[in-house]
Amino acid sequence: MNTFAGRSVLVTGASSGLGAAAVRRFAAAGGLVHAASRDQEKLAEVAASCADLPGEVRFGPLDVTSAADCRAAVATTVDAYGRLDVLVNNAGRHDFRVTTDVTEEQWDADIALNLSGAFHLSQAAIPHLLETGGNIVNVASVAGVMGEAYSAAYTAAKHGIVGLTKALAIEYLDTPLRVNCICPGGMDTPQAQTISVPDSADWELIMRVAAKRGLMDADSVAAVITFLASDEASSIHGSIQMVDLGHLAG
């Protein structure tokens, strides 16, 4: 099903994990995808894995902590495909730290990576999305609606993503633009496989749900992203979707 045939999609944090899975999902549905990340070698591998799919995948560099880079990534996508229909703000990283050990530099870097980048990308993309009646899908986390131990900066940033989603949804209520957000729980991604925690951390606090049901497959979460970005979700605007194996059910 070429759900996104002729539609242009920008996916950030696209070199692995959920971002790469989203790129493949959009390409499988005929989308014209610009995959952006700092790791060009891995992006090339993602693009190559989509070679036999109906859509098209191009890729380029993006450091979401740079507002200039964010604007350039949007411009590159529009230049390549002549339009922008979907922005997926996926780039981010979760580092566990004891709060009293967090440096000013670490705090600033976490906020820039996990929140400010999504704002700058959205700011640059919105004029183009208004022209196409497009939409934004923000990727927050269960940490966007609850507390996460040893994650003060990340949790604050992801709460910010939820707030950004709601603010944009209201601001553009009288336009065709849709803005939605997903809050994934733990996924089986390269980041999860290389995670490190402070020596003093209580591992049970961190893994209390994954210990019961395991980690989610990134492709199953990417399916929610492509659904929200599709016309099938035309009635969904300003929503915060939990994708967490019941993490927040209790």
Residue 126 CA to residue 134 CA, distance in Å, equals 9
Pairing of strands 86-89, 240-243: unpaired
Q: In what order do the strands lie in the sheet with 135-139?
A: 56-61, 32-37, 8-12, 86-89, 135-139, 178-184, 240-243
Residue 68 CA to residue 64 CA, distance in Å, equals 9
% of the chain with per-residue pLDDT over 70: 88
Residue 85 lies in a domain: yes
Domain range spanning residue 18?
A: 8-241
Domains in the chain, number: 1
Report which of 15, 18, 106, 98 is spatially closest to residue 65, judged by C-alpha positions: 106
Condensed to tens digits (0 to 9), the pLDDT of residues 28-59 reads 999 999 999 999 999 999 999 999 999 999 99
Condensed to tens digits (0 to 9), the pLDDT of residues 72-90 reads 999 999 999 999 999 999 9
pTM above 0.85, yes or no: yes
**Considering the chain, what is the average pLDDT of its residues?**
91
Q: Residue 198 — very low, low, confident or very high, per pLDDT cuts 50/70/90? A: low
Residue 249 lies in a domain: no
Structure tokens at 244: 């967490």
**CB neighbour class for 81 (10 Å; exposed up to 12, middle 13-18, buried from 19):** buried
Residue 146 lies in a domain: yes
Residue 247 lies in a domain: no
Condensed to tens digits (0 to 9), the pLDDT of residues 141-181 reads 999 999 988 999 999 999 999 999 999 999 999 999 999 99
Condensed to tens digits (0 to 9), the pLDDT of residues 205-219 reads 555 545 445 677 899
Do residues 1 and 53 touch, judged by C-beta distance below 8 A? Answer: no
Residue 166 lies in a domain: yes
Q: What is the CATH number of the domain that holds 66?
A: 3.40.50.720
Q: Residue 250 — very low, low, confident or very high, per pLDDT cuts 50/70/90? A: low
Q: Residue 129: what pLDDT?
A: 98
Residue 43 CA to residue 222 CA, distance in Å, equals 17
Residues with catalytic annotation? 154
Helix (H, G, I), strand (E, B) or coil at 9: strand
If you average pLDDT over residues 230-246, what whole number do you get? 94
